[in-house]
Amino acid sequence: MPGLANGMHRKPLDDMHGIIVLRKLLSVWRIPASPDPIEYALVAGFLTLSAVAALPGVAMSVSAMFSSITSVLTPAVVGN
Protein backbone atom coordinates (compact mmCIF):
# COMPACT_ATOMS: atom_id res chain seq x y z
CA MET A 1 0.00 0.00 0.00
CA PRO A 2 1.47 3.34 -0.90
CA GLY A 3 1.90 5.88 1.85
CA LEU A 4 3.08 3.51 4.58
CA ALA A 5 6.57 4.09 5.96
CA ASN A 6 9.46 1.65 5.32
CA GLY A 7 7.50 -0.46 2.87
CA MET A 8 5.21 -1.81 5.61
CA HIS A 9 1.88 -3.18 4.54
CA ARG A 10 -1.28 -3.47 6.60
CA LYS A 11 -2.71 -6.86 7.24
CA PRO A 12 -6.44 -7.49 6.88
CA LEU A 13 -6.50 -8.54 10.55
CA ASP A 14 -5.25 -5.08 11.58
CA ASP A 15 -8.13 -3.49 9.66
CA MET A 16 -10.66 -5.76 11.41
CA HIS A 17 -9.19 -4.86 14.79
CA GLY A 18 -9.66 -1.18 13.99
CA ILE A 19 -13.28 -1.76 13.02
CA ILE A 20 -13.95 -3.67 16.24
CA VAL A 21 -12.40 -0.91 18.34
CA LEU A 22 -14.39 1.73 16.44
CA ARG A 23 -17.65 -0.16 17.02
CA LYS A 24 -16.93 -0.43 20.73
CA LEU A 25 -16.17 3.28 20.96
CA LEU A 26 -19.36 4.17 19.08
CA SER A 27 -21.45 1.92 21.32
CA VAL A 28 -20.48 4.11 24.27
CA TRP A 29 -22.00 7.16 22.55
CA ARG A 30 -25.20 5.39 21.48
CA ILE A 31 -28.38 7.29 22.29
CA PRO A 32 -30.81 5.21 24.35
CA ALA A 33 -34.16 4.41 22.75
CA SER A 34 -36.22 5.38 25.81
CA PRO A 35 -35.81 8.01 28.51
CA ASP A 36 -33.90 7.05 31.61
CA PRO A 37 -35.40 7.44 35.09
CA ILE A 38 -32.97 10.31 35.73
CA GLU A 39 -34.55 12.24 32.87
CA TYR A 40 -37.99 11.76 34.41
CA ALA A 41 -36.60 12.96 37.74
CA LEU A 42 -35.10 16.07 36.11
CA VAL A 43 -38.40 16.94 34.41
CA ALA A 44 -40.33 16.41 37.67
CA GLY A 45 -37.85 18.63 39.52
CA PHE A 46 -38.16 21.35 36.90
CA LEU A 47 -41.95 21.26 37.07
CA THR A 48 -41.82 21.43 40.87
CA LEU A 49 -39.50 24.42 40.85
CA SER A 50 -41.69 26.14 38.26
CA ALA A 51 -44.80 25.59 40.37
CA VAL A 52 -43.09 26.89 43.50
CA ALA A 53 -41.90 29.97 41.63
CA ALA A 54 -45.40 30.67 40.27
CA LEU A 55 -47.34 30.06 43.51
CA PRO A 56 -46.60 33.38 45.27
CA GLY A 57 -48.08 35.30 42.34
CA VAL A 58 -51.11 33.03 42.22
CA ALA A 59 -51.57 33.30 45.98
CA MET A 60 -51.64 37.09 45.77
CA SER A 61 -54.24 36.97 42.97
CA VAL A 62 -56.47 34.55 44.89
CA SER A 63 -56.14 36.64 48.05
CA ALA A 64 -57.11 39.80 46.17
CA MET A 65 -60.07 38.01 44.59
CA PHE A 66 -61.38 36.79 47.97
CA SER A 67 -60.90 40.26 49.47
CA SER A 68 -62.96 41.72 46.65
CA ILE A 69 -65.70 39.11 47.15
CA THR A 70 -65.68 39.73 50.91
CA SER A 71 -66.00 43.50 50.43
CA VAL A 72 -69.05 42.97 48.21
CA LEU A 73 -70.76 40.28 50.34
CA THR A 74 -70.18 41.75 53.79
CA PRO A 75 -72.60 44.68 53.37
CA ALA A 76 -75.20 42.33 51.86
CA VAL A 77 -74.96 39.92 54.79
CA VAL A 78 -74.78 42.54 57.52
CA GLY A 79 -77.58 44.54 55.93
CA ASN A 80 -75.90 47.94 55.59
Torsion of CA 28, 30, 31, 33, to 10 degrees: -110
- φ/ψ of 32, rounded to 5, equals -65, 150
11, pLDDT greater than 60? no
Instruction: Return the pLDDT at 4.
Output: 54
pTM, two decimals, is: 0.38
Number of Cα atoms under 13 Å in the Cβ half of residue 13? 0
What mean pLDDT comes out for the span 14-32?
72
Q: What is the DSSP letter of 32?
A: P
- Look at 12 and 43; give whichever has higher pLDDT: 43
Q: Are 42 and 50 in contact (CB under 8 A)?
A: no
The DSSP string of 44-64 is HHHHHHHHHHHHHHHHHHHHH
